[in-house]
């Protein structure tokens, strides 16, 4: 039992890893929501039969989203190392991990936003058109409010996926819980670190999911 619960990593080590994970997730998520929101709204507007159909834009943007989403994060992480070095000046560390995390999560959120907006009853759009609402007004005052509950649940899904991605980013020295698990738990055969890292991730993911469910329920009420 001693080998399972006693570890060479102190509380400070876990707190630092938690802080690094929080930074990676929060910064990437904020940027990802902004970029993903723009992507998702653009896909909805320009798709065939959309509010502002534009074949050229949709034909370019849709495949780009599909291509990036098809890449496993660990492959994307390695593939864009030159871009990361160009922007950050390094390919390791918490700041460097934010670049691939943002590129990874933005198209994912974009597709989730698209799905949420497409779930809105078409009658809402017709109502907006009947009062002469502009494209911006239709999206901002009609589509987004109607899709709030679905958007919250989808952003919750994206956040959980991002937490998993930050753990994988530890493979290239990004810091955070994943880096702690790999460097101390795996490389140094410290099973206690692996155990605690798994427990922390499970608790965090459960808390995020519960919060997302609660907020979505409040919005629907």
User: pLDDT tens digit string along 152-204?
Assistant: 999 999 999 999 999 888 877 788 898 888 888 777 777 888 888 899 999 99
- The rounded percent of the chain whose pLDDT value lies above 70 is 97
pLDDT band, very low/low/confident/very high, at 217 (cuts 50, 70, 90): very high
CATH for 52? 1.10.3720.10
Q: Look at 53-57, 84-88, 112-116, 191-195 and tell me which has the smallest mean pLDDT.
A: 191-195
In a domain, 186, yes or no: no
Is 167 a domain residue? yes
Please tell me the predicted confidence (pLDDT) of residue 3.
54
Helices (H), ranges, the chain:
2-5, 11-46, 55-70, 73-79, 81-88, 94-118, 122-130, 135-137, 144-146, 148-169, 176-180, 191-220
The domain containing residue 97 runs over which residues? 20-177
**Predicted confidence (pLDDT) at residue 145 exceeds the cutoff of 50:** yes
Instruction: Indicate whether 165 belongs to any domain.
Output: yes
- Would you list the DSSP string of 61-82? HHHHHHHHHHS-HHHHHHHTHH
Looking at residue 185, its pLDDT comes to 77
Asked if the structure places residue 219 within a domain, the reply is no
User: Is residue 155 a part of any domain in this protein?
Assistant: yes
Q: Is residue 55 part of a domain?
A: yes
Specify if 205 maps to a domain.
no
Please count the structural domains in the chain: 1
Taking 70 as the threshold, does the pLDDT of residue 2 lie above it?
no
Task: Answer whether residue 76 shows pLDDT above 70.
Answer: yes
Residue 216: inside a domain? no
């Amino acid at each position: 039992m001693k080998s399972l619960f006693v570890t060479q990593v102190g509380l400070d080590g876990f707190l630092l890893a938690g802080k690094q994970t929080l930074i990676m997730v929060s910064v990437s998520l904020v940027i990802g929501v902004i970029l993903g929101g723009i992507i998702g709204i653009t896909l909805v507007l320009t798709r065939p039969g959309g509010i502002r159909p534009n074949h050229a834009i949709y034909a370019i943007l849709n495949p780009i989203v599909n291509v990036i989403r098809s890449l496993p994060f660990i492959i994307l992480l390695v593939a864009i190392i030159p871009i990361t070095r160009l922007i950050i000046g390094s390919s390791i560390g918490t700041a460097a991990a934010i670049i691939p995390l943002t590129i990874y999560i933005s198209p994912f959120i974009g597709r989730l936003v698209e799905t949420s907006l497409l779930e809105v009853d078409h009658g809402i759009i017709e109502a907006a058109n009947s009062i002469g609402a502009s494209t911006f007004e239709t999206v901002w005052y009609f589509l987004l409010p109607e899709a709030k509950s679905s958007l919250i649940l989808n952003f919750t899904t994206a956040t959980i996926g991002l937490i998993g991605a930050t753990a994988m980013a530890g493979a290239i020295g990004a810091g955070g819980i994943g880096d702690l698990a790999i460097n101390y738990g795996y490389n140094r055969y410290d099973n206690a670190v692996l155990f605690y890292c798994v427990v922390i991730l499970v608790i965090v993911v459960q808390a995020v999911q519960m919060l997302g469910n609660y907020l979505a329920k409040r919005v629907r009420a």
